[in-house]
């Protein structure tokens, strides 16, 4: 494992006056995450921000209500990741529940179309005689200036729903709903695309109810919250209070077995019990299987799984997605090995590497370069962009992953302003972005990117660090703590799952499954033995039984042969002394 600084998350000096009986450990953890009142721990739907605060939602509702009244043809244009898939499913199901009969969806091909609403998609729909009366984008569209223009030239009305950062020019859509568009007063800027679409539906339901136009029986949009939870966690948006409500409400539905058959099927093929899942399972179990379709084939398979009404159909599609995911892992493993060889061939130690890494190989696969960039970023603690060839052979597509302290899209905008045209297009968030450039410009772009990163970061920013919640007391190192923490979520981006550090004697260690380190630990100065496991360490590890170890870990409940015991999931460990 790469050596890291271990930092401890500070807790406010002043203890908060909690209105209910919270265990002291949770009081400490919540306070360290900025929770200042009981309301921030209440995850009932009444605490959701109002959809009517979203700029453009009134006009979007008018257009959708008109489409329902006149039974116009509506097409949902999605995206090829988990947020795009869940957004599409929510739009399809929600609009159907509210009375729209002619609604279909289309997802751009990652390989043939690229991202979002493009003129090429409009041309293809026109040639197929499949142009709708109204198109609604989900999880995309805020940058589709040319695509929206092409749609309107064909007489198609366009409603954009998105959450990505807006550029200098907005598309001339009939309505734009995006909390991050200029002038939008909506307080939760962290909504995922699926959350924005859900808000549009709730506003539409309110309008139809006021007009006495709701179908009978009145639809319950709350039945879509499992999808909203999945898309929110899988897109790794910050879990502010509003998003935590979405996630917690969705998790409750899943645990009760009231989720979409597709979500239950994805959990089943992964060997997870839906009654016991947490937000972590959505992010690391369900999300990757859904994403695998868009990365390797066609996200329509993933959307079909989410839309499936029967368990049998959902299971068939979930197994197909699971196969894609296994294939994705194999490709990613090979690409990671290639990237590591490429880094080694540069004959540079970590200090000699560029501050902004750009990597390209003609054999890399577009669908998994984002995962590859994330893996290399973790290894080097450098902002990293991995590139793969485009279909035309002249361009390359890149996927960027950043580190704390560097807003990757702002850095790309800086590069674009200094080197106009070096990127044919780009977009993204603070921590992830994508771009396209000519293959011949790769070297020049790499230099420009490294220069922009060096202007933004300091040398200390390149030191890998892991932040913990400090140590657990001896009496807190127990199974009850693991269960308490699991129930205390939902945890996620910007509301991180608790992780602790401590010093341990290592009584025994061995490699299992060729790549994982299994340990038996004893707290220094304490009693009792605790199992621990560190995944993907590789077979070559220090002999911690000689030195002891400082361990960064999460308490977990591990069930084996019918017995459940405490196990520490180890994120990082280093020898003592």
- In a domain, residue 337? The reply is no
Range of the structural domain that residue 370 is part of = 346-463
d(CA 275, CA 419): 53
Cα-based distances in Å from 480 to 469, 475, 500, 561: 18, 10, 16, 20
31 and 54 part of one domain: no
Tell me the residue ranges of DSSP E strands in 108-192: 134-138, 157-161, 175-177
β pairing state of 74-77 and 103-106: parallel
pLDDT at 17: 64
d(CA 73, CA 330): 41
472 and 350 part of one domain: no
pLDDT at 198: 98
What's the pTM?
Answer: 0.86
35 and 60 part of one domain: no
If we measure between CA atoms, which residue out of 300, 256, 291 comes closest to residue 277? 256
CATH classification of the domain holding 167 = 3.90.1640.30
What's the token pair of residue 315? 């299971």
- In a domain, residue 156? The reply is yes
454 and 539 part of one domain: no
541 and 416 part of one domain: no
- In a domain, residue 182? The reply is yes
Domain boundary among 463, 479, 508: 463
Domain boundary among 427, 445, 463: 463
What's the token pair of residue 8? 């401890």
Q: Give every CB contact of residue 560 below 8 A, 6+ residues apart in sequence.
A: none
Q: H or E stretch including 455?
A: helix 442-456
CA neighbours closer than 13 Å in the CB half-sphere of residue 42? 12
Cα-based distances in Å from 277 to 41, 206, 244, 253: 19, 32, 15, 11
**pLDDT truncated to tens, each residue of the chain (577 aa)?**
567 889 999 877 666 666 667 888 998 999 999 888 888 899 999 999 999 999 999 999 999 999 999 999 999 999 888 999 999 999 999 999 999 999 999 998 776 777 789 999 999 999 999 999 999 999 999 989 999 999 999 999 999 999 998 888 999 999 999 999 999 999 999 999 999 999 999 999 999 999 999 998 899 999 999 999 999 999 989 999 999 999 999 999 999 999 999 999 999 999 999 999 999 999 989 998 988 887 776 788 999 999 999 999 999 999 999 998 888 888 878 877 877 777 666 655 566 789 999 999 888 888 788 888 988 898 889 999 999 998 777 899 999 999 988 999 899 999 999 999 999 988 777 888 889 999 999 999 999 999 999 999 998 898 888 999 999 999 999 999 999 999 898 999 889 999 999 999 999 999 998 789 999 999 998 888 999 999 988 888 999 999 999 999 999 998 888 889 999 999 999 999 7
3-state class of 165 per DSSP? coil
- In a domain, residue 121? The reply is yes
What's the token pair of residue 89? 């499913």
Torsion, Cα 510 512 516 519, to 10 degrees, reads -40
Instruction: State the DSSP string of 273-317.
Output: -GGG--HHHIIIIIHHHHHHHHHHS-THHHHHHHH--SHHHHHHH
Helices (H) and strands (E) in the chain, counts: 18, 17
456 and 472 part of one domain: no
79 and 163 part of one domain: yes
CB neighbours (10 Å) of residue 366? 21
């Amino acid at each position: 494992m790469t050596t890291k600084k271990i930092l401890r998350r500070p807790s406010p000096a002043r203890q908060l006056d909690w209105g209910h009986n919270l265990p002291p450990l949770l009081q400490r953890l919540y306070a360290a995450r900025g929770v200042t009142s009981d309301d921030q721990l209440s995850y009932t739907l009444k605490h959701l921000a109002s959809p009517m605060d979203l700029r453009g939602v009134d006009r979007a509702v008018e257009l959708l209500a008109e489409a329902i009244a006149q039974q116009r043809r509506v097409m949902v244009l999605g995206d090829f990741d988990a947020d795009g898939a869940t957004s599409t499913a929510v739009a399809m199901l929600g609009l159907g529940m509210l009375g729209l009969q002619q609604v279909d969806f289309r997802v751009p091909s990652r390989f043939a179309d690229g991202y979002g609403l493009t003129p090429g998609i409009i041309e293809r729909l026109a040639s197929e005689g499949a142009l709708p009366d109204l198109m609604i984008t989900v999880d995309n569209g805020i940058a589709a200036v040319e695509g929206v223009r092409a749609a309107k030239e064909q007489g198609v009305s366009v409603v954009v729903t998105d959450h990505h950062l807006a550029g200098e020019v907005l598309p001339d859509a009939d309505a734009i709903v995006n909390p991050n568009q200029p002038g939008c007063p909506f307080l939760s800027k962290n909504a995922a695309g699926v959350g924005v679409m859900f808000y549009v539906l709730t506003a539409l339901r309110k309008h139809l109810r006021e007009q006495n136009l709701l179908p009978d029986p009145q639809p319950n949009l709350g039945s879509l919250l499992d999808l909203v939870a999945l898309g929110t966690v899988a897109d790794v948006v910050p879990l502010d209070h509003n998003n935590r409500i979405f996630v917690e409400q969705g998790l409750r539905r899943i645990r009760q077995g009231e989720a979409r058959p597709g979500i239950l099927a994805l959990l089943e093929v992964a060997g997870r019990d839906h009654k016991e899942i947490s937000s972590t399972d959505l992010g690391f179990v369900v999300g990757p299987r859904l994403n695998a379709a868009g990365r390797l084939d066609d996200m329509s398979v993933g959307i079909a799984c989410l839309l499936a009404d029967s368990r049998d159909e959902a299971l068939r599609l979930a197994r197909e997605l699971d196969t894609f995911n296994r294939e994705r892992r194999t490709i990613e493993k090979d690409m990671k090995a290639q990237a590591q060889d490429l880094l080694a061939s540069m004959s540079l130690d970590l200090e000699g590497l560029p501050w902004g890494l750009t990597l390209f190989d003609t054999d890399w696969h577009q669908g998994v370069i984002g995962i590859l960039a994330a893996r290399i970023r973790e290894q080097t603690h450098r902002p990293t962009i991995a590139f793969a060839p485009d279909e035309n052979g002249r361009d390359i597509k890149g996927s960027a992953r950043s580190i704390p302290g560097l807003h990757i899209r702002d850095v790309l905008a800086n590069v674009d302003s200094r080197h106009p045209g070096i990127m044919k297009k780009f977009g993204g968030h603070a921590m992830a972005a994508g771009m396209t450039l000519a293959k011949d410009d790769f070297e020049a772009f790499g230099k420009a990117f490294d220069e922009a990163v060096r202007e933004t970061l300091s040398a200390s920013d390149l030191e890998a660090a892991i932040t913990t919640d400090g140590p657990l007391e001896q009496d807190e190192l127990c199974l009850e703590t693991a269960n308490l923490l699991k129930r205390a979520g939902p945890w996620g981006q910007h509301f991180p799952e608790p992780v602790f550090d401590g010093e341990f004697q290592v009584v025994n260690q061995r490699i299992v499954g060729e790549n994982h380190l299994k340990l038996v630990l004893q707290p220094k100065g304490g009693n009792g033995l605790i199992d621990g496991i560190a995944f993907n360490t590789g077979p070559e590890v220090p002999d911690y039984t000689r030195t002891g170890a400082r361990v960064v870990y999460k308490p977990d409940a591990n069930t084996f042969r019918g017995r459940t015991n405490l196990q520490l999931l180890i994120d990082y460990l280093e020898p003592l002394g």
